[in-house]
Structure 1
Amino acid sequence: MKTLFSAILMAALAVGIHAQSRLDNAKKQASQNKQLILLNFSGSDWCIPCIKLHKNIIETDEFKKLETENFIVYINADFPRNKKNQLSSELKKENASLAEQYNQKGLFPYTLLLNSEGKVLKSWEGLPSENALAFSKEIRDIKEHQK
């Protein structure tokens, strides 16, 4: 009985520890490299504004420069509906935990710019009106004012 209880406890702790691993890793990386964290909540296979956001901003070279030039750490908390696009149970739990903490209204798309401690610096509800260049510039400007 002790062994069963220990196994259940270890499994619960492992899930709890893993549930925030992307955010925890992003906070650590952001702190070490003086970066910001961009957290995006999306429905990649059902939310038309989410799909447009990814196509017109996140997948562009201008946005990717933010990552390669160490301005941001990017996290996508995706909530797909189609069976073929389902995430692992661990990733589903992690995304649900992120939503519980940062997106309690269940908005899609919903994008947050966080500092290395996880404090919200800016949020975008829905599809940002800016193009990729303007969106990236806004993030760069916010980061510059953080110094």
Structure 2
Amino acid sequence: MNTRHILAAACAATFAVTSAFAGGEGWTHDFAAAKKQADSEKKDLLMDFTGSDWCGWCIKLNDEVFKHDAFKTGVKDKFVLVELDYPEDKSKLSEETQKQNEELQGKYGIQGFPTILLCDAEGKPFAKTGYQAGGPEKYVAHLDELRAKKETRDKAFADAGKAEGTAKAKALVAALDAMELEDETVGAFYGDVVEQIKTADPKDETGYAKKLAMKQKFAEFGKKLNESKNHDEALAFVEKSEGEFEGEQKQQIVGIKAQIYAMTGKFDEAIKTADEAKAIAPDSAMVGQLENFKKNVEAAKAKAAAAPKEEGKEDAGE
């Protein structure tokens, strides 16, 4: 092979490596290497779980944010960038990388794409986000806000190390709450902290153990509800269960009851039940959803009321 051919092959290989990353240069597929780099350079990990050739929001995030120099400059001193891709075209990833990505998807409980996890150098997540509109500068500012969660977490952990009993438990709870992670993620990566809370607060003065138990109970409720064979069975189960919960969890359950009424054409009951759900936790984020739900039900009710009249006109030849 002559020199021209050698140079051409080298250029092609370089292009293949670069183009394998949806966000362009500066990313890695190697999670283990990324952790080592983050540790040595005192950086955090930005993990992008993406479907680079089929996920519309993933592609938008790449095109609007990750490909731009303003993003790369804004994060280069803070994060090691890790792209974990789940493409339809598997040929762009080695079998080893595909296996690694499948394992990480399970480990981090990734349900949708794009999911952006911010993790420390050990791979412990401290914040989660996804697509955000506004371009690279705004996204970098968003990441800086999320990165502050780690500082809050670490300070709370440090405070807990100096405390005992309920004070220690409260500091640990504050650390977990600051990250706003899903319960499954907390259990997978901070299970030791959860156990420390229980040990430090055996009487559950923080209420954390009760909170965990109720979340587990709510998850079991959802699983059993999905096993219902029809609307009547689902409605009976919901009515039986709603008295076992309180606060926003009860609000969600009563909201489900309203949805069942709507799906079975009982529009008045649905509207009344939605109002009951709103009253349970009037300051919750779900209230806005219930308002929209009521509007949709009222529209469906009006449409159903008009339908017989329209049919009558057709029968009369009008």
Give the TM-score band, short-chain normalised.
Answer: 0.7 to 0.9
Q: Where does residue 69 of structure 2 map in the other structure?
A: 61
Residues 63 and 133, structure 1, Cα contact 8 Å, conserved in 2: yes
Report the RMSD for the aligned CA atoms in angstroms: 2.3
Q: Where does residue 125 of structure 2 map in the other structure?
A: 120
Q: Where does residue 37 of structure 1 map in the other structure?
A: 45
What is the aligned counterpart of 2:109 among 103, 110, 114?
103
Gaps of 5+ in 2: 1-28, 155-318
**What are the superposed Cα offsets for residues 77-116 of structure 1, whole Å, 9 maximum, x if unpaired?**
1111136x542111111111111111342x1111111111
Give the TM-score normalised by structure 1: 0.73
> Computing the radius of gyration over CA atoms, which structure comes out larger, 1 or 2?
2
Structure with greater strand percent: 1
What is the aligned counterpart of 1:131 among 135, 142, 148?
135
Gaps of 5+ in 1: 1-20
Residues 103 and 110, structure 1, Cα contact 8 Å, conserved in 2: no
Q: CA deviation at 1:45?
A: 0.7
What SS class does the counterpart of residue 96 from structure 2 fall into? helix
Counterpart Cα distance in 2 of 1:25 and 1:34: 14
Distance verdict in 2 for CA 1:26–1:86, change over 3 Å = closer
Distance verdict in 2 for CA 1:124–1:143, change over 3 Å = closer
Counterpart Cα distance in 1 of 2:125 and 2:82: 14
Q: Where does residue 98 of structure 2 map in the other structure?
A: 92
Q: CA deviation at 1:22?
A: 2.0
Distance verdict in 2 for CA 1:77–1:63, change over 3 Å = same
Residues 71 and 143, structure 1, Cα contact 8 Å, conserved in 2: no
Q: Does 1:82 align with 2:89?
A: yes
Q: CA deviation at 1:65?
A: 1.1
Which stretch of structure 1 is more off in the superposition, 55-64 or 137-146? 137-146
Counterpart Cα distance in 2 of 1:112 and 1:130: 19
Residues 36 and 71, structure 1, Cα contact 8 Å, conserved in 2: yes
Counterpart Cα distance in 1 of 2:53 and 2:107: 23
Bigger RCO of structures 1 and 2 (CA < 8 A, at least 6 apart): 1
Residues 26 and 37, structure 1, Cα contact 8 Å, conserved in 2: yes
Residues 43 and 80, structure 1, Cα contact 8 Å, conserved in 2: yes
Residues 127 and 147, structure 2, Cα contact 8 Å, conserved in 1: no
What is the aligned counterpart of 1:71 among 75, 78, 84?
78
The amino acid that maps onto 1:140 is D
Q: CA deviation at 1:66?
A: 3.8
Report the count of equivalent residues. 123
The amino acid that maps onto 2:141 is K
Residues 34 and 45, structure 2, Cα contact 8 Å, conserved in 1: yes
Structure with greater helix percent: 2
Give the TM-score normalised by structure 2: 0.36
